[in-house]
Amino acid sequence: MKERARAARQEQQIIGLVPTMGALHAGHLALVERARRECSPVYASIFLNPKQFAANEDLSRYPRPLEADVEKLTAARVDGLFLPEAGEIYPAGFSTYVHVEGLSERLEGRSRAGHFRGVSTVVLKLLEIVQPHFAYFGRKDAQQVRIVQQMVRDLNLDTEIVVCPIVREADGLAMSSRNAYLQGEERRAATTLFRALRAAESEIAAGVRDSLELQGAMRKVLASEPRARVDYAEIVDAETFEPVVRVARRCYAVLAVYVGKTRLIDNMLIEPVGEELRVEV
Give pLDDT tens digits for 144-165.
999 999 999 999 999 999 999 9
8 and 146 co-located in one domain:
yes
Q: d(Cα 204, Cα 270) in Å, to the nearest integer?
A: 9
Which residues are marked as active site? 28
Give me the chain's average pLDDT, please: 97
Which pLDDT belongs to residue 275? 86
In sequence order, what are the beta bridge partners of 264? Answer: 257
6 and 141 co-located in one domain:
yes
Biggest CA-to-CA distance, the chain: 57
Task: Give the DSSP H/E element, type plus range, for residue 40.
Answer: none
136 and 60 co-located in one domain:
yes
Which pLDDT belongs to residue 246? 97
State the burial class of residue 14 (Cβ atoms within 10 Å of its Cβ: 0-12, 13-18, 19+): middle
Contact criterion met (CB below 8 Å) for 105 and 242: no
Contact criterion met (CB below 8 Å) for 183 and 262: no
Q: Is the pTM of this model over 0.85?
A: yes
Rounded to an integer, the average pLDDT of 248-273 is 97
Helix, strand, coil abundance in the chain, percent, nearest 5: 40, 25, 35
Give pLDDT tens digits for 169-201.
999 999 999 999 999 999 999 999 999 999 999
Tell me: pLDDT of 56 over 90. no
Q: d(Cα 97, Cα 120) in Å, to the nearest integer?
A: 8
The total of structural domains in the chain comes to 2
Report the CATH number that the domain containing residue 127 is assigned in CATH: 3.40.50.620
Which pLDDT belongs to residue 55? 83
Q: d(Cα 248, Cα 237) in Å, to the nearest integer?
A: 10
117 and 16 co-located in one domain:
yes
Q: Which of 245-252's residues contact partners 24+ apart within 8 Å by CB, and which partners? A: 245/210, 245/211, 246/209, 246/210, 246/211, 247/204, 247/209, 247/210, 247/211, 247/214, 247/277, 248/209, 248/272, 252/142
141 and 30 co-located in one domain:
yes
154 and 39 co-located in one domain:
yes
Contact criterion met (CB below 8 Å) for 125 and 240: no
Give pLDDT tens digits for 203-219.
999 999 999 999 999 99
Give pLDDT tens digits for 76-89.
999 999 999 999 99
Q: Name the residue range of residue 268's domain.
A: 177-280
Which pLDDT belongs to residue 237? 98
Q: d(Cα 190, Cα 196) in Å, to the nearest integer?
A: 11
Which pLDDT belongs to residue 257? 98
Instruction: Please check whether residue 17 lies inside any domain of the structure.
Output: yes
